[in-house]
Chains A and B, each alone.
Chain A
């Protein structure tokens, strides 16, 4: 019995030593060094592979970071904290980041903007655009076929009443939706800017009013009641100047006659209520 035990111990330790030596030998003479930093950086990245950094995925971005081909703040999703950590890890310095969120600059839901024709085809904005510009009577409004909502890797876009609405608390500002929208309605704006003019149509007020209840008719009430430079007049519409945006009180002060100058919260509220009304009916 004892002999068996001793033999087993001997055999196994012998095997262990031989294998250990063999592995050691192999790694010593044939080993290839890899950079462990890549894995460390990858752990700090969000790992959702949204492509906001214009690279195919987080792993690729991490490799580029370690190779010095990219800088951490190019990841629009990472928090300031994470970016700083990555920068420290790589021995870089980064400037202050401004958090951005997306906003859909259209207020024309199915109640406000007429849907002119029946549409029969793929439920996708880009596809619908290819057929006579889609069914909505406003040629510049939200088509409401949720292409952006499907594209959003964070589920931050909700379709309410056939209108895309961004939830600020979920949006990280990666910008995927901006590229998706065939009507270029989505903009990345500073998260601090809470007031928007929900209209993107460059058409004349008369044309807009024919098809929509809530267009920006460029009456300039907001421009007059706000400070200099807070708004920009672009042809037949007004846009918030996001480098110098007004505070939330501007909504009260200006009294937009068409109700298209709203805070993000008000906008969401309106759409929610309209939805409820519809359900109640």
Chain B
């Protein structure tokens, strides 16, 4: 090597060398990218909501997202945290999920209340993302449900449901007596409809196995109705309508490996088995499992709420236990409880159990034996 070439060779000066622990490379997946993928998975459900409920739904989504983001920023300002925390996308996910958990015609102030409950009470008082033991959206939903039961069960029909009193829609409407309305001078400003679950709730239960019992739920649990439930043509919360859209989103989540597959599989499975058993024993008490799977917030919960990473168990076995517990609680509340829908309650309750489940479902290390072999050599 001649003098000339040596002089041209540049060696690191070492001034910019970073000292850090191994590993020195990263797969570039960040909290932000995960959250954005979750948002992507929610898009089908959001699209379905807007398709079925129109601008009302869009408005609710916009309100919820805006309030959640604003409240998060506000809290961070107050608490002296960097406002850049907002970039992690968790408030966006909370906002969207909250919107999917509200009825289509929800006034802005309920969205604001929900966002406060979710972002502040559900998340930030515990120290922000990753620290909250309870699912923020479930906290918001349950809080609103207890405080404002009327507003939270104000269901409007989807765009494709018309009160023509024929066929499928027939079941869900009690069409107002227009003649009487005009006489009393009341102003007619909107249609409400029932949800399949609320009809199930109000249907008197028959505790024997007569033919009457078998037909107890025929009006809401028949193949045509199932198809409508599946596509999303029914009343309910924004995200509760279209099972199809949510399953699409679920597939996206599973493809990106963002959720533990045990949660939706065991949750839906437990609900199916549990309601199946009850239905077989007393057909007059509850409709067939398919009804339960397709209606209410079960699908949304199974794929988007119960799978929330922060508030579900961290090991696969724990996730399975968690999901089975969720399934049983949901069914018990749906069939015998005082509320038509039990998913949010059951999520909160199982959230409380997560630390215990985590303790129970601790992983055994590779090569684990009860009595570790003493070190040789």
Tell me, in angstroms, the Cα distance from A135 to B17 when the chains sit together: 10
* Residues A117 and B21 in contact, CB atoms below 8 Å apart: no
A279 at the interface (CB under 8 A from B): no
Q: A135 → chain B, closest Cβ, in Å? A: 6
Interface size bucket, B side? under 10
* Residues B21 and A118 in contact, CB atoms below 8 Å apart: no
Tell me, in angstroms, the Cα distance from A273 to B61 when the chains sit together: 55
Q: B212 → chain A, closest Cβ, in Å? A: 59
Per DSSP, chain A at the interface is: loop
B27 at the interface (CB under 8 A from A): no
Interface size bucket, A side? 10 to 19
* Residues A135 and B21 in contact, CB atoms below 8 Å apart: no
Closest-by-CB residue of A relative to B17 is: A117
Residues from chain A with a CB closer than 8 A to the CB of B17 are 117-118
Q: B181 → chain A, closest Cβ, in Å? A: 65
A130 at the interface (CB under 8 A from B): yes
Per DSSP, chain B at the interface is: loop
Q: B188 → chain A, closest Cβ, in Å? A: 65
Among A11-70, those with CB < 8 Å from B are none
Residues from chain B with a CB closer than 8 A to the CB of A118 are 16-19
Among A122-158, those with CB < 8 Å from B are 122, 127, 130-132, 134-135
Closest-by-CB residue of B relative to A133 is: B19
A91 at the interface (CB under 8 A from B): no
B20 at the interface (CB under 8 A from A): yes
A4 at the interface (CB under 8 A from B): no
Tell me, in angstroms, the Cα distance from A120 to B21 when the chains sit together: 8
Closest-by-CB residue of A relative to B22 is: A131
Tell me, in angstroms, the Cα distance from A278 to B167 when the chains sit together: 79
A235 at the interface (CB under 8 A from B): no
Q: Which of B14, B16, B21 contacts A131 (CB 8 A)?
A: B21
Residues from chain B with a CB closer than 8 A to the CB of A134 are 19
Q: A119 → chain B, closest Cβ, in Å? A: 5
Tell me, in angstroms, the Cα distance from A120 to B20 when the chains sit together: 5
Among B153-175, those with CB < 8 Å from A are none
Tell me, in angstroms, the Cα distance from A48 to B110 when the chains sit together: 48
Residues from chain A with a CB closer than 8 A to the CB of B19 are 117-121, 131-132, 134-135
Q: Beyond the given A117-B14, A118-B18, A121-B21, could you list 17 further A-B residue pairs with CB under 8 A, ordered by the A residue number?
A: A117-B18, A117-B19, A118-B16, A118-B17, A118-B19, A119-B19, A120-B18, A120-B19, A120-B20, A121-B20, A122-B21, A131-B19, A131-B20, A131-B21, A132-B19, A134-B19, A135-B19
Question: 4 closest A-B pairs (Cβ-Cβ)?
Answer: A120-B20, A118-B18, A117-B19, A121-B20
Q: List 26 A-B contacts (CB under 8 A).
A: A117-B14, A117-B17, A117-B18, A117-B19, A118-B16, A118-B17, A118-B18, A118-B19, A119-B18, A119-B19, A119-B20, A120-B18, A120-B19, A120-B20, A121-B19, A121-B20, A121-B21, A122-B21, A127-B21, A130-B21, A131-B19, A131-B20, A131-B21, A132-B19, A134-B19, A135-B19
Residues of chain A touching chain B, judged by Cβ–Cβ distance below 8 Å, are: 117-122, 127, 130-132, 134-135
